Structures are given as C-alpha cells and as structure tokens.
A and B are shown apart, each in its own frame.
Chain A
Amino acid sequence: MGLLTFFLDLVVFVGIFGILALSLNLEFGFTGLANFGKVAFFLLGAYTYALLSQIGIPFYLCLGLGALVSALFGLLISLPALRLRTDYLAIVILAFGEILRYVVRAENIGGWRGMVHIPPVFTWTGSLLTYRLENVGLVFVCLLVFFAIAQLLANSPYGRVIRAIREDEVAAEALGKNRAKYKAQILMLGSAMAGVAGGLYAQYQECVTPGMFIPMVTFTVWIMVIVGGPANNWGVLLGAALVMLFDRGANIAKDYLTLPVDPHNLQYILFGVLIILVLFYRPGGLLKESQVKTKASEIARYARDTDNNKRS
C-alpha cells in the first residue's frame, strides 16, 4: 500500500512537470524561444491559486485565472525583447523569474515563509490512496488536454509557421509571417500552461513558499525537454518521467548510501554534467523531432510506398 501511494505521488509530479515540459517544448522545441524563466509563470499560477482559493473561489476558476495571469505576464515581459535576438529574451525572462521570487518574499503574501493551508481540490476522506488517485486523475486530465493542444498545434499550418520561425526568422518574415506576433502567442500559451501547472502544484502541496520556485525548477524542465527530445511532444513526456524517476531515485538512494559528497549537491552536479553530455553527444535528445502529419504528407507517403512496391 505504501509503495502504491508513493508511486502515485511520483505520477502526480510527472504529470505536473509533464505540463511544464510540454509548454517549454512549444516555446523552445517548436519556436526556438529560450525561456529561462519558466519558474516565474509556474510561481504566478501557484500564487494566484493560493490567493484566490483562500477567499473561497472554486478551484477551476482559480486554475483558469492563474493561467490568465501567467499568460498576461508572459506577454508583457516578452514585449521588450521579442523583436531582438534570442539571448536578450533569455536574459530578460531569467531576470523576471528572479525578481518575482524577491517580490513574493518581500510582499505581505506570506513573505519567505510562504502560505500554508491552501484548500486542496479534493476533500480528504481519510484514505491516502483515494486522495492520490483523485489527484492523478485531475493532473492527467489537464495533461491530456494540453498534450492534445500541443499535438494539434504541432501538426497544423500554425505549427509549420513556428517551426519556420525557429529555423530562419528572416525567411519567415519575408514570407509575410509576423514573427513577433507568433512568438508572443506561443509565449502566452506556454505561460498559461505553466500557470495551470503551478495551480495544480499549489493545491497538491497545500502550501507555497518562495523557496519552491528557485531557478533549479526551470533548469529541471530544460533537462526534461533536452533529454527527451525537443520538438517531440512524446519525447518531452518521456524526459519528464525519466528526470522525475531519477530525482526520486536519488532521494531514496541518499537514505541508504553513505557518500563522501552531500547527495543534494551531487544530484545537481550530476544534472549539470548530464545536460552537458547530452548537448555534446545527442543534442537532438532521445526521440527525434516529430514529422509534421497532415493529409498531404500522408498521401505523399502513401504514393511513395505504392510506387516503391510497383518497382520491386
């Protein structure tokens, strides 16, 4: 029983981080935007949920408003940097995430202690198993919705435009695509997804503290996307599962192993080394970029196959 509830807890985390990985995949994998401040939008969603749910607003509204607030900030913060080079956007968003953490620490919303007793979505019925199962259900419904959106986007004409912007901004612009508009839309969508993930996280943990939203969170999501395979929605979900498993495994292992190095530090060092190795030897990730699936491409493949059959 203990093992099962432990596993379900892991599954909830995979779901929440899976949503984050999907959102970063839209931004980085498909559009080529370096969002180094994912945690900022995660934080916005979580704090919005925490503040609104405490005054008795129903949870779906809290999640929705969290997504809205995150999306608005995603748009605002990207405005000065979207027309400039990728690296400016990276610096601005990274800075935004850090500032936001200072703001929630300084403001009268719990300060550095954060907020506790956030009302969860599901009332406690006495059984940990039921409670975790309900949360798995909620998180995976959200994950499924976002996965469907991400897949539909990736295989639509819109998806082809954002891939084109990633490959060559100027060429896309020359074909009449307003790159700043597309980038702003993707950042808003990605931030909204991160906001929902933040709300789910806040209600599951039943507390929010500034310490939960350190830059390491952003970096963990980056590892998921890069290891799993950028521009492949299945890949980043695989990446999310692998990284969460590794994280949990390391947490268990440190109770049983005596290492000369503090396991907390060792884990960060291993994460860092892992990502550098992946960038060196497998920059495309575990799964390759997914091909665009449209009616036209299916017909073309069908025609090619029958053609080959005829010849052989």
Chain B
Amino acid sequence: MEVNWAQVLFNSAITGSIYLLGAVGLSVTYRLSGFPNFAHAEFITLGAFISYFVAEELGVGLPGACLAAFMVAGIVGFLCYRGIFQPLSKRGASIIHLMVASIALGFVLRHVINAVWTDSPYYFTTVTFPSYHIGAVTTTSLYLWLVFSALALSVGMHLVLTRTEVGKAIRATSSNPDLALASGINTERVIGITWFVGAGLAAVAGVVRGVGTLVNPMIGWEIILPIFAVVILGGIGNYYGAIAAAFIIGLAENVGVVALMAVGLSAEYRIAIGFLILIITLIARPQGLAMLFRRA
C-alpha cells in the first residue's frame, strides 16, 4: 500500500492542533483546582453545537460562530467552577468527590445539549471551505487556519504567560498557591480566568471538529481519552509540555493508523494509541515531559 507520508504528517499537525486546543484548559485547571475535570469533554461538544446554531441557523459566518462558541463555553466553564467545584472543595470534598461531580456534570451538560438539539448528526452546509493542493498534501482552508491558529495560540499564550500581569499570576498560582495568595494575588480570580479561557479554547476545538466532520452529542467524549493522554504526557499544568505532547500524540495516532492498516487491524483501534502512550508515560515517567520544560 502506497502511503502519502506528507499527508500523514499534515494530518498529524491537524490532530495535534485539535488536541492542543482541547487539552490546554484541562491541563491548567487540573493543576490549579487539583482534580481532572471529566466534564471538559462537554465544553468541546457545547462549542460544536453553539457554532452550528450561530453559523447555520442564524447565518452568521464561521468567525462569529467561533467567537460565540468561545464566549458561551467560557461562561459555562466559569459558572461550573464557581457554582459547583469551588463550593464543593470549600466544603472539604475529596478529589474523588470532585471527579464524581465532574462526571455527573458532564452527563447533565451532554444530555441538556441532547435535549435542546437531538442526537441525530448535524452537518455544516453553509460554511464550506475551498480545498488546496500543496505539493502532495490535499487540505482545506479550514485546516490551514486551524494549524496556523494553533501555532499562533502557542506563541501568544507564551507571551501572555511570561509578559503580562495575569500570565505571571497564573504561573505563580500554579507553582505555589499559598505563596501566591500571600503575595497579594487573587488566586480565586486567577483560577476563574483559567476555567473561562480553558473551556473557551476547548469549544474552539469542538467548532473545528464539528465543521470538519459532523456535530453530535458525543463529539467531545470521543476525544477525551487522547486529550487526557496529552495532559498526562505533557505534565499536569505544564503549558509547554502540553504543546509538545499534543503534537507527539497527533503524530503517533496518524502513523499508528497507517501501521494498523498495514497489519490488517481495524482503524477503530486508533483510540487505543493514546491510551498506550498514557500507560507507558505512567510507568516510565509519571511526571510527564514537565522536567524538560523547567523554565515554565
């Protein structure tokens, strides 16, 4: 079988970009709030549905839909933190209770979405993208935009984290919350901001996934496992680690699918590749790639 390796590499960049958008928020909130938020998957789903509603039913273009998805999911994420997780941890809930609450919240969000729309798949029709041929690679402008945005986001977030007041506050809270609080940083506000931005970015990942394939209530849950693999491989709360891990797992999945096809296994095992990396990370290097990016 002839494999178009240039295409495989470009697809890896696409997968990696989506995982990066999905994982950044989860990784940072995991670190700052101290528990993995399983409802993060539903922010992705919510983003896809909001963008479908705005772009297809209201007829606003995709940029507007993207912004709407970011804002709505961001606000929902912020409210989830303020309304549920923060009060729960103030009442002394253990990490297991917080995880259970996040799974419960995930079910509520997913089935509210399911009740508002239905679970039959939706396809974007008014938003279309011309395809391009660049060398051996065939793609659409959507994915060019996606990869470009992911790169811009990586650089932009780096600048925010290192140069601005808010960014420095986030890093301080992440490395030592008590000391940050003692230095006059409003850590509650900082955590709230990361929930807002993290959920918003996850929603953008959902928009791209929705436009590229289809929109249904499982769209977020389907990619939550590789996203968790990215978070663990990158090191929890480590932004630079997450960037590296997202593209490593994107590459591993796309090369892995080629390998699966070559040995005659079903491409359904694609999801197992992220899991395999997750297991190997936990055995060999449970702190993830964190120490490689110590400057952060």
Contacts and interface: CB of A to CB of B under 8 A. Distances in A.
B114 A265 contact: yes
A106 B266 CA distance: 6
A98 B115 contact: no
A53 B242 CA distance: 47
B225 interface: yes
A28 B107 contact: no
A265 B282 contact: no
A280 B232 contact: no
Contacts of B6: none
Given A99-B275, A279-B100, A91 B228 contact: yes
Q: Tell me the interface secondary structure of chain B in the complex.
A: helix
B266 A269 contact: no
A95 B93 contact: no
A88 B100 CA distance: 14
Interface in B67-116: 84, 87-88, 91, 93, 95-97, 99-101, 103-108, 110-112, 114-115
Contacts of A59: none
Given A261-B115, A280-B87, A92 B278 contact: yes
B283 interface: yes
A142 interface: no
Given A87-B36, A88-B282, A268-B107, A222 B112 contact: no
Contact of A276 (B104, B111, B278, B279): B104
B107 A271 contact: yes
Contact of B36 (A80, A91, A219, A272): A91
B180 interface: no
B87 A95 contact: no
A275 to B, nearest CB: 4
A108 to B, nearest CB: 10
A145 interface: no
B272 A272 contact: no
Of B99, B105, B283, chain A has the most CB atoms within 10 Å of the CB of B99
Contacts of A273: 104, 108
Given A95-B225, A226-B100, A268 B35 contact: no
Given A87-B36, A269-B107, A98 B271 contact: yes
19 contacts: A34-B99, A80-B282, A85-B95, A86-B96, A87-B35, A88-B282, A92-B279, A95-B225, A95-B228, A102-B268, A222-B103, A265-B115, A268-B107, A269-B108, A269-B111, A269-B112, A275-B100, A280-B88, A280-B91
B111 A268 contact: yes
Contacts of B36: 87, 90-91
Nearest to B34: A87
Of B84, B88, B106, B275, chain A has the most CB atoms within 10 Å of the CB of B275
Contact of B282 (A84, A90, A275): A84
A279 B228 contact: no
A105 interface: yes
Interface of B: 35-36, 38, 84, 87-88, 91, 93, 95-97, 99-101, 103-108, 110-112, 114-115, 225, 228, 232, 265-266, 268-269, 271-272, 275, 278-279, 282-283, 286
B101 A84 contact: no
Contacts of B279: 80, 92
B104 to A, nearest CB: 4
A279 B107 contact: no
A102 B221 CA distance: 14
A112 to B, nearest CB: 10
B107 A219 contact: yes
Nearest to A223: B104
B286 A88 contact: yes
A88 B95 CA distance: 11
B158 to A, nearest CB: 27
A253 interface: no
A190 interface: no
